[in-house]
Amino acid sequence: MPRGMSPASATRFRPGPLRGALRVAPDKSISHRALLIGALTGGELQLSNLNTGADLEATRQAVRALGARLDGEGGEVTLHAPQRLHAPGVVDCLNSGTTMRLLMGILAGANLPARLTGDDSLSRRPMERVAGPLRDAGALITTTNGHAPVELAAHTGLKAVAHHLRVPSAQVKTALLLAALTAGTSAEITGDEHSRDHTERMLRYLGASIAWDGTRIALAASTLNARDIEVPGDPSAAAFAIVGALVTPHSEVRIERLCLNPTRDGLLRALQAMGADLTIRDAHEVCGEPVGDVVARSSSLHAIDLDPALLPTMIDEVPALAVAAAYARGTTRIRNAAELRVKESDRVETIAAMLEAAGVTVARHPDGLDVSGAEHMNERIEVASHGDHRIAMAAAALAAGSPSGVQVDDAGCARVSYPQFHEAWEFLQQGVAR
């Protein structure tokens, strides 16, 4: 048993096929943006199917601190945006890097002083990648050795944003776009490599004058309209059920109303390259985002060298891909993924440790790992999640195709992004269609 695991607190995911249809947790990235960008509209809008995880609670509190009122509970909320944003004082961003980084942009553009804090995990994550470009545009921001707490002070005004991304990042470009938007100025951002474009899509849906082509974004000074927003299912949440179905005989899972944004479908493309039986049905668009149903069936997978161009579209799904690789023929190689080391855990290490506990051969690299498919999994598999929600959920997918299941010391951390994960997993293992 991993050090620190107690039988009383551990969760055991059992083996067996996954069958049925369900809607997974609402997309976390889009939910953050719906709240934060909605608060900039100056009007009233209905937000439907919001993610209710712990990270989103941080963003709800931040939006309230900016002066917005939220009526309703759970995923259905009426947002009353303030006519003028309030200085929020101290904002605890909990474990949410998205909340902190996007809020930095809004506060810098609105010229509002604030102090942004977070838990121990968030305080280890890099913040200069956002603070530096905002300083270049005229903001006064101080980080703590490059990390939180982050202090924003009043400044003389933000100039037009012009920035070249050294590393493609949806959070960096979003912070800069929101800074320009709240400052009433323009932004031109280059150097992107088709990172998530949820912000661009939402700004366009709400009436902003914005154009982008996957490498360059141009935003003119704009005023937003208050329009209702429905959030589709999260590809990162769906990843584990999809992979669990692929690696487990006699499985068939249908994930309904899933976000199929081409900047988020990298896992599906990687799995198809591995020979996965995946089908897309009922594709259409909701509030500027492409959505549809994904059907995954048991498959015989083979190893791939992951195309580095796919990584920006699936960085959060690498733990799920690694599980698929553990059941595939040959050695799957994942490179140019150094960002894995600065997630909620060092995911190169935590993924490797999880798979090695199952008897899988893994080679670690500074920017990724090699996973050699195992002919036989260990009978007894015990995993430490290190408080990382994606590692805990990946362990469930690993368990589905294993001989005897997987025991995880802290699987409750899945609630950070997917509060109903355990119920959804049990539903699929019961094989009840709905």
Active site members: 316
Distances (CA, A) of 218 to 65, 139, 262, 371: 29, 20, 20, 40
Query: Residue 106 corresponds to which amino acid?
Result: I
Q: Residue 49 has which token pair?
A: 């199917």
Torsion of Cα atoms, 204 then 229 then 232 then 65, to 10°: 100
Query: Residue 255 corresponds to which amino acid?
Result: I
Q: Which residues contact 42 (CB under 8 A, 6 or more apart)?
A: 81, 82, 83, 224, 226
Q: Residue 356 has which token pair?
A: 């090695």
β-strands 252-259, 140-144 pairing: unpaired
Q: Which residues contact 99 (CB under 8 A, 6 or more apart)?
A: 32, 55, 58, 59, 62, 93
Give the count of beta carbons closer than 10 Å to the beta carbon of residue 272: 13
For 57-73, give the DSSP string: HHHHHHHHHTT-EEESS
Cα(223)–Cα(203) distance, rounded to whole angstroms? 10
Cα(149)–Cα(123) distance, rounded to whole angstroms? 7
Angle formed by the axes of helices 421-430 and 235-247, to 10°? Answer: 30
Cα(381)–Cα(399) distance, rounded to whole angstroms? 9
Q: 281 pairs with which residues across the strands? A: 293
